[in-house]
Structure 1
Amino acid sequence: NSNIILYRAEEPKKIKYTPLGYDRELTADEILELTDKGRKYAHLVRCFSKYPHLVTDKGQTLSMPPILNSEDTKVEEGTRNLFIDITGTDKYTVEKTLDLIATTLAENAECIGLVSIVNGNEVYYTPKLEPVITKVSLEYIRNNLGMQDLTREDIISLLESLRHKVEIVNDQMLKVISPPYRYDILHPIDIVEDVAIAIGYDNLKPEVPRTFTIGKELKKTKYLRKLREIMIGLGFQEILTFTLSSSSILEEMLELEKSKHVEILNPISPLYDTIRTSIIPNIVMFLKANQHEDHPVKVFEVGDTVVVVKGEPQTRTKLAAGILSYKVGFEDIQAVLYSLADNLGLNVELEEVKLTPKLFIEGRTAKIIVEGEERGIIGELNPQFLLEKMGIEYPIALFELDLTDLWEKH
């Protein structure tokens, strides 16, 4: 009986308790050798010199996670109070699993108690039971369902029937607050799916469009195809790299704070743990891998990036082009930019950069201004940075241009 429970690592010889379903004490190593659960999951802890140990401040062992609980934790018919312990290697997953179990049990329980977690100087309470918040427009819901006659009140009522709380942001936008156990909601399309479920799939009747239409390319598709043709005509080769990138590369190369890019919760590799905010690192890494090919190496890429603006992620379509050669300078890449702008009918000006990023050479870098709006950067890369940090032996000049919505204006 204790209100203080410690989660720590102990040497196997110091762990001794009666496992669940047994009538005598066993050491940690005996549990791994003699019990079914121990033999099955021994590989999870055998490689460590210390094992996880959940114990009260009075020395009563509750569990050796993730192997086996103690007999003291046995749940019987008369059990009134449950202490839920969840351990794992990913904090987010552990917390969400606890939310799910706690809210499920709450259906038949009087209340959910909070546990104070002390981790060094950090103190917080679990379960956190933080709601899942999604912003979605009425137009997005109607268009995806093909039901233009759905009123705002209809949509709110349908979502509330599935335990969502809905707040009106403005005439076209809703803020949907979902229960903490709904961590399956990852995107606004999941809210659309819940609206469809609330309506009932059998009640969604397919309709023949009233107006006969012929499919055609989007303005964006035609604009980007023309841009690609221009760049190829200027002697560049198109490359296609991953949209996922490395946060360490973004922070090192672009001096980007963590709050300025979107991180992946469960990346398969540190090389792909964030969504790129810029195509410049991709161009530089490609040129590094091909620096010993015939010079000049001239490449470009057009693709999507995601930037964080005022806490909200925004998708931006960008073009980046770079030249690596024995002798290449600002004038070479500037001529490419001006030629591209002339062919696209863009009014492009260059302005001095007040604070030069360390990736570029001071005095050989400029901001790209399109129609009076800052849209990118152009310049020569810092040879010291290229050689010492990247292992690139030759000069590089490049530019990056934000193309977002230019297809609507030109």
Structure 2
Amino acid sequence: MPFSLLKYGLSSDYPVDVDLPAPKELKSSYDVVIIGGGGHGLATAYYLAKYHGITNVAVLEKAYLGGGNTARNTAVIRSNYLTSEGVKFYAESVRMFQGLSNEFDFNIMYSERGQLTLAHTDATVRAFRQRAEVNKHFGGRTEMIDRQQIRELVPTLNLDPGHLPVLAGLWHIDGATARHDAVAWGYAKQAAKRGVEIHQLTEVQDFVVEHGKITAVKTNRGTVKCGCAVQAIAGHSSLLLNKLGIRAPIHSYPLQAMVTQPFKPFLDPLVSSSALHCYVQQTGRGEVVFGGGSDPYPLYNTRSTLDLKESLLAHAIEMFPFLANAKLMRQWAGTTDMTPDYSPIMGRSPIDNYYLDAGWGTWGFKSTPICGKTMAELVASGGRTPELIAPFALERFSTFQQVNEMGATAASH
């Protein structure tokens, strides 16, 4: 076997499956320009090509593929949200995630492990009961469990942390994780195979707007004409919208996480507590990941801070006291673009041929497949909004039809 590998590696004519074509010059025009080369932008390009035959598409990324929030999250996948609109949307995304490895012929390391959210008060228990019923009604697998069931599920969990004893839990069987960069590269590879052009180190700097429509996009590599454009740039959404004079209720906050040295497996489910502002999971490599709520002030930055580390780890140690002596390996942050109702903004913008995929806050990665599919439908139809994303339109903030998902995250905001 080692001999064969050596022979394969030194051969000059062995078959190579190149993920992406070599970089090339921008064309003068495209049918669709997608701004942002993260999971959402690449997924939209892939589904445009696969389901709608639209391949004259350019994905423009100012840095490298999947290098923004796609690479700066904790890779959690779930659908246990509060509203019927949210549950239907994310449940469909979970179903799509389950088949992505086969669809790509590329292992995204999807791992269904379940998510346990802890209830520390009677009010939370009542809210979780309602949440479980909403989830079951719209196809999610979620149920309430008691202290004994929690103890059996996570034997290492401290059920009586300080003044907040655990009363019950919301057990979301569909909770899972996947390798975030593998998801981005799987979409990129398959989109490129179908003729989509992917341009890294290509920053969108401005737009040409004529008669209420986008006619061209100005980049650091020149100006390209386009039939329409899709914005999918996560944390910096509002900055690009400002260039077009589009008002949207988005504020960006840093969101931090950290990971320990590896341990032997002791934690299979993802465990979270909104009361303790913390969630904990163990990766396939044995590292323990800690995450929590966003920083308390707006900032377009991905720096890490000591104060967040101290407060987050204090709560994590309340949940798992034996981790007090664990050594941290690294800490990182992303930039979350939050909306007032903690739901995304998807669909048409005030500019006819400019489509929005923004305001994703802390829940963007888990929506990658369904977001790409529905945004592709929107673009291919010339602006007819798919029913699944109609509740997330920008206009909901002026018509007072918000989709309130406040408190639906693994750690409260």
TM over 0.5: no
* Normalised TM-score (structure 1): 0.21
> Which structure would you say has the larger Rg?
1
Which of the pair has the greater relative contact order for Cα pairs under 8 Å at 6+ separation?
A: 2
* Normalised TM-score (structure 2): 0.21
